[in-house]
A and B are shown apart, each in its own frame.
Chain A
Amino acid sequence: MALSLKQLDSITSAFNAKEQAYDKIIRVCCGTGCITSGANRVLEGVLTAVEREGLSSKVLVKKTGCHGLCERGPIVTLGNDEILYQSVGKRDVAADVDLLLKTVTEGKVADKLLFRDSARKEKYTSSLDIPFYKGQKRIVLAMNGLINPEEIDDYIAHGGYRAPFRAFQMTPEEIIDWVTKGGLRGRGGGGFLTGRKWSSARAAKGGLKYVLANGDEGDPGAFMDRSLMEGNPHAVIEGMVIGGYTIGAQQGYIYVRDEYPLAVSRLTKAIEQARDYNMLGHDVFGSGFDFDLEIYRGGGAFVCGESTALMSSLEGKSGEPRDKYVHTVEHGLWDKPTNLNNVETWANVPHIINNGLDWYTSIGTKKSTGTKIFSLVGKVNNTGLIEVPMGISLREIIFGLGGGIRGKRQFKAVQTGGPSGGCIPEQHLDMPVDFDSLTSIGSMMGSGGMIVMDERNCMVDVARYFLRFLTEESCGKCVPCREGTRRMHEILDRICKGAGKIEDLMHLEELGKALQWGAICGLGQSAPNPVLSTIRYFSDEYKAHIIEGRCPAGVCKEITTFTIMEEKCTGCMRCAAECPMGAIIGEKKEPQRIDDLRCITCGICYDVCSFDAIKIG
């Protein structure tokens, strides 16, 4: 039997009553980052301690999805964000669990576990005050870190699954109109207008139609979609139900990366629970409309994020893209009209339906509405997951939320758009983050990877890195990409090794153009971007490699040596202690020396020296 709106409300009240019966709620983040840092042990510890102290009826312990501040995990919050504890149990689980219980029972805030902003040297109790959270606008991620992603009632109690009721009161055309006027653009990279895609898919002829969610998240260095699927899987499902109804599809598939086992298991559970409530299956929400979902696991191929390759993979074949002269909204999966959207795009849909157009368009900029989730990583102080309104500047993200560059180093570049994007230099930091601005400076929004680099990162090496990645991930179907990416890599590798020629730069640009024009799919067409953007903004660095035979960042091993400057070395031996190869020799309080034969030029010594006594040569 389908649930009515009234029944949803009674589930909500029952759930809230259950939670309100407790004095306190402890939320332990069980996102992937926190699990890696030991969240499962903390969760177990808290549960045992609560039981031992006889607090089981007073304190509720909840497992949640990612809070975003992954690097400081495991994260535990108390009450409704009143207190945020970080790095809980990093050293000593039992001791930290004790501190936690003391906070609950005696109201004593554990200083040691509070978040300290390393740049501002300030301490914060509530997450609401931490700049990392304060600068955010959490809509899609609002429930991450709050609800238990494995409990549908929790999602319902927080307003979930109301949007389909509204949507089923509307005609598909009205929904398309809302989504179009709301300006929702695809979060998977291209920024294509979602409403327009839905409209073509609805108009397409052919009995069966499909809706697909792209959860392949191939961008290496990004984990937005993962946190969304793990932390709030029902949001994706809710969006897809509405999308299915709108375009007239009865079946949907969610394609998830093989490397994300937790996302697969949470989505699987969510689908089962939604079926139990008849939100999926026959006559969903009592609307007379049938809709069901199934999960497909990928096989570890970046190119399968591309729409036609994804469909080929869903059909059980290898992921070779095809030319899209005929669009997938007309001939897609099994040759049927198919509408593919990124998981974050889907998760935006219920919010537009629930809160209306005016509300949605008031967030972000005119041409890029709403928010965008980014994974902010690299050399910033606060790495993690953020959701910000579009139009915010890169500077605000990196120096505001991110707390600036780690240690004593300087900002050099920020990479957005993953392997299809580019490196953005200091001079463009005030650029608003929206689809069109980022494209105008040779990068792109992409799916939301944002990787901050400092002067210890070499831009030629970064370009080489991406081309290595793309060479491996090219499907190998078309000549320009299969042969072109590896040859671009060959040239970049030569430059990194100090054997480059100045003509190589023009050659790279020429080859880049041929790929942009000649390759079949976005992978090959955008493969030159990391190269072209670094040549455009960091040509000095290329020239240093080519003409002077040196790597200013001290990254390219073949042309880098580290030397200790006798006059500056105090003999503190910090470097000697950190060197993994034991390559640093010398007496205490005496200048040290690096044994070149043992040195692997990892540069750890350079990074740890407090006296700038080590020189890159």
Chain B
Amino acid sequence: MEINKEKLDEIILKYGRDKAHLLAIFQDVQKEYRYLPKEAVRHICMRLGMPQVDGFEVATFYKSFSLKPRGKHTVHVCLGTACHLKGGADVLLSFMRELKVKTGETTADGAFTLESVNCLGACALAPLVRVDEKDFGKTTVAQSRNIIRDFTDHH
């Protein structure tokens, strides 16, 4: 993976080369690549003067970081309590069937990554599905196909 070191340094400098901001730096870098390339983690650790293991630990501890490339779109199916009780698991299964992947995987064409999430904070509209930055409330098993189609058309 080719990484743009200048861009990384820019982000690191924005946070004052401060180790305390490691999460924020990772978040910004992840926005750039849609995942955290290993080379980027290495570079950041080097710049912040910290051992690589510490960066690796943080990158693997938090659910929002991924060291594996992600698809163009990420489908988050909520499995929080409210969504679970209203059939969130069945909605997740329907996305697995439609996309032919398991949770955490990316479709072969790189279009979608399927993830489960524990509550997106719109529980009154359970079951919830978030694709990229758009939320869908009161989703049903039958709807998954339409949601995928919505995002397939213009990608």
Contact = CB atoms under 8 A, between A and B. Distances in A.
B93 A600 contact: yes
A79 interface: no
B36 to A, nearest CB: 11
B118 A469 contact: yes
B121 A316 contact: no
* Residue of B26, B62, B65, B93 ringed by the most chain A CB atoms within 10 A: B62
B62 to A, nearest CB: 3
Contacts of B117: 259, 300
A33 interface: yes
A512 interface: no
Contact of B123 (A223, A319, A462): A223
B1 interface: no
A199 interface: no
A43 interface: no
A296 interface: yes
Contact of B82 (A221, A314, A473): A221
Which one of B61, B122, B128 has the greatest number of beta carbons of chain A within 10 Å?
A: B122
Given A299-B65, A317-B58, A36 B118 contact: no
Contacts of A296: 23-24
Contact of B137 (A36, A415, A451, A475): A36
A379 B61 CA distance: 34
Interface stretch (B4-12, B84-92, B106-114): B84-92
Nearest to B141: A580
Contacts, number: 143
Interface in B70-119: 79-87, 90, 93-94, 117-119
Contacts of A415: 81
B61 to A, nearest CB: 4
A509 interface: no
Interface string A547-561: 000000000000000
Contact of A258 (B27, B79, B124): B27
Nearest to B64: A300
A383 interface: yes
Interface in A58-73: 70-71, 73
A297 B27 contact: yes
A379 B120 CA distance: 18
Contacts of A218: 118-119
Nearest to B137: A36
Given A258-B27, A377-B82, A316 B94 contact: no
Contacts of B93: 600
B42 to A, nearest CB: 17
A372 interface: no
B118 A473 contact: yes
B82 A451 contact: yes
Contacts of A315: 19-20
A602 B90 contact: yes
A385 B82 CA distance: 14
B124 A384 contact: yes
A33 B125 contact: yes
Contacts of A351: none
Nearest to A333: B20
A316 B23 contact: yes
Contacts of A457: 85
B22 interface: yes
B121 A259 contact: yes
A82 to B, nearest CB: 24
A71 B119 CA distance: 16
B85 to A, nearest CB: 6
A217 B121 contact: yes
Given A318-B57, A377-B123, A580 B94 contact: yes
A496 interface: no
A32 interface: yes
Nearest to B142: A580
Nearest to A380: B124
Given A298-B23, A316-B58, A36 B125 contact: yes
Interface residues of B, number: 47
Nearest to B118: A220
B26 to A, nearest CB: 8
Interface string A219-256: 11111001000000000000000000000000000000
A378 interface: yes
B150 interface: no
A451 B82 CA distance: 7
Contact of A221 (B54, B58, B81, B125): B81
A219 B65 CA distance: 20
B81 A36 contact: no
A299 B64 contact: yes
Contacts of A37: 125, 137
Contact of A418 (B19, B54, B81, B125): B81
A36 B63 contact: no
B68 interface: no
A318 B55 CA distance: 9
B135 interface: yes
Q: Name which of B23, B57, B65 has the most chain A CB atoms within 10 A of its CB.
A: B23
A147 B124 CA distance: 22
Centre residue among A218, A258, A377, A415 by max chain B CB count within 10 A: A377
Given A261-B133, A451-B81, A300 B125 contact: no
B61 A301 contact: yes
A313 interface: yes
Given A301-B61, A415-B81, A375 B124 contact: yes
B63 A299 contact: yes
A302 interface: yes
B41 interface: no
A330 to B, nearest CB: 21
Interface in B1-39: 18-24, 26-27
Nearest to A219: B119
Given A221-B119, A261-B133, A301-B62, A317 B125 contact: no
A261 B76 CA distance: 15
A258 B115 CA distance: 15
B126 interface: yes
18 contacts: A33-B137, A70-B122, A70-B125, A220-B79, A221-B83, A223-B121, A223-B124, A259-B119, A260-B121, A301-B63, A318-B58, A377-B123, A378-B86, A449-B81, A453-B85, A466-B81, A469-B118, A602-B87
Given A220-B80, A466-B81, 16 more contacts: A33-B122, A36-B136, A70-B124, A221-B83, A221-B119, A257-B121, A261-B133, A297-B24, A299-B61, A299-B62, A300-B64, A375-B123, A377-B124, A378-B86, A457-B85, A600-B90
Interface of B: 18-24, 26-27, 54, 57-58, 61-65, 79-87, 90, 93-94, 117-126, 128, 133, 135-137, 140-142
8 closest cross-chain pairs (CB), A and B: A299-B62, A221-B81, A220-B80, A70-B124, A318-B61, A300-B63, A220-B119, A316-B22
